[in-house]
Copies of this chain bind each other. A is one copy, B any other.
Amino acid sequence: MTLRPAQSRMGSNHSPCSACSIRELSLCGALEEHELADVAAAASGIELDHGDPLFDEGEPARYVFSVTSGAVKVYKLLADGRRQMTGFLFPGDFLGLADEETYAYSAEAVTRSTLCRFARRQLQALLERYPRMERRLLTMASHELAAAQEQMLLLGRKTAREKIASFLLMLSRRAELRGLDASPVEVPMSRNDIGDYLGLTTETVSRTFTQLKQDGRIRLLARGRVDLLDRKGLHDISEGL
């Protein structure tokens, strides 16, 4: 894990946050240009490589993070090693919020990633200073909550086929939100990671991809990109129609 100061030139009018390409998507989107310096002062940049851990469940939750590039996975473990991915995070997403003193889950980089790190105390001060930021955080938490409920529906009641279709469409929708292509969608995580996210084994994930491919619904491209040939069909499958 590499650290660099988020604010490289002290006293500058232009904080590095000004240049942050995903600011509008993130927590910092709540702030005005001239307020960003305050945020920059509380933040430092983090760089992670594929597979680098960010923090582990149970560790003191001293920091919260905002993803600025790459992809991060968060997960919980059972004693015997069974793993449930609780989310994949992309630029603009936020993690580390915990009302307890320790993290409730572990986090690790899926690909080479960069993040902004905030000490919780300092973020706390920022939130008190900028109520808009706190409101933004509440909105983001509400979104996450709605997504979590959707995921419960998936985990508890959908078939393998429906799960994979839902997963691909979710990645596609989120890529679109970040201004990327909806259709050849990037799937940077392994089959095993996908399985742990959907409550399946890698074998079942692989078989289901193959099945959707043979049905002409998707095409598997190089470097983990997936062409969604039949979005309508995938959507119907994902809804159990």
Contacts and interface: CB of A to CB of B under 8 A. Distances in A.
Interface of A: 76, 78-80, 82-84, 86, 97-100, 104-105, 128, 131, 134-135, 137-139, 141-146, 148-153, 155-158, 196, 198-199, 239-241
A41 to B, nearest CB: 22
Contacts of A104: 146, 149-150
B199 A156 contact: yes
A82 B155 CA distance: 12
A23 B173 CA distance: 40
A99 B139 contact: yes
A167 B76 CA distance: 18
Contacts of A79: 239-241
A35 to B, nearest CB: 18
B240 A80 contact: yes
Contacts of A82: 157, 240
